[in-house]
Amino acid sequence: MGQTLKAEMWDKMQYLFRNYYDRMVHCVQYYDGLIDVNVLKRVLIFTTEKVPVLHSSFHGNVIEPYWSVEDYTVNDILTVRDSVDLEADVNAFICQCIPVESNVQYKMAIFNKDGKSTMCMIVNHMCMDGGDFKYFMKKLAENYNKLLDGDRNLEIKTGSRSYDAVYSKLTPEEEEIARGLYKNISQIKDEHYFPLTPPAPQDVTRIVRRKVGKELFASFRKIGKNLGVTVNDLMLAFYVRSLYEIGMFRDDERLTIPCMVDLRRHIVDGGAGTGLTNHTGFMQCSTEKRGDTINDTLIEVLRSVRKSKDDPYMGLYSLPLLKLAYTIFPFVISETAIKIGYLNPLIGMSNIGIMDAPALRMGDAEIVDGFMTGAVKYKPYMQLALTSLLGDITMTIAIRGNDEDEKTVNRFFDIIIKNMNDFVELNRDKLD
Contact 66, 52 (CB under 8 A): no
What per-residue confidence (pLDDT) applies to 187?
61
What per-residue confidence (pLDDT) applies to 428?
96
Phi, psi of 399 (to 5 degrees): -140, 165
What per-residue confidence (pLDDT) applies to 300?
96
Contact 76, 48 (CB under 8 A): no
What per-residue confidence (pLDDT) applies to 1?
60
Provide the residue-wise pLDDT of the chain in tens; the chain has 432 residues: 689 999 999 999 999 989 899 999 999 999 999 999 999 999 999 999 999 999 999 999 889 999 999 999 999 999 999 999 999 999 999 999 999 999 999 999 999 999 999 999 999 999 999 999 999 999 999 999 999 999 999 999 999 999 999 999 999 999 999 999 988 776 666 789 999 999 999 999 999 999 999 999 999 999 999 999 999 999 999 999 999 999 999 999 999 999 999 999 999 999 999 999 999 998 899 999 999 999 999 999 999 999 888 999 999 998 998 898 898 889 989 988 888 777 788 999 999 999 999 999 999 999 999 999 999 999 999 999 999 999 999 999 999 999 999 999 999 999 999 999 999 999 999 997
How far is residue 241's CA from residue 392's CA, in Å, rounded to a whole number? Answer: 21
**248 φψ region: left (φ > 0), alpha (ψ -120 to 50), beta (else):** left
The structural domains of the chain, with segments of one domain joined by +, span: 4-153+166-430
> At 70, which amino acid appears?
E
Phi, psi of 156 (to 5 degrees): -160, 140
| CATH number of this structure's domain 4-153+166-430, picked from the four choices 3.40.50.1100, 1.10.10.10, 3.40.50.720, 3.30.559.30 | 3.30.559.30
What per-residue confidence (pLDDT) applies to 72?
98
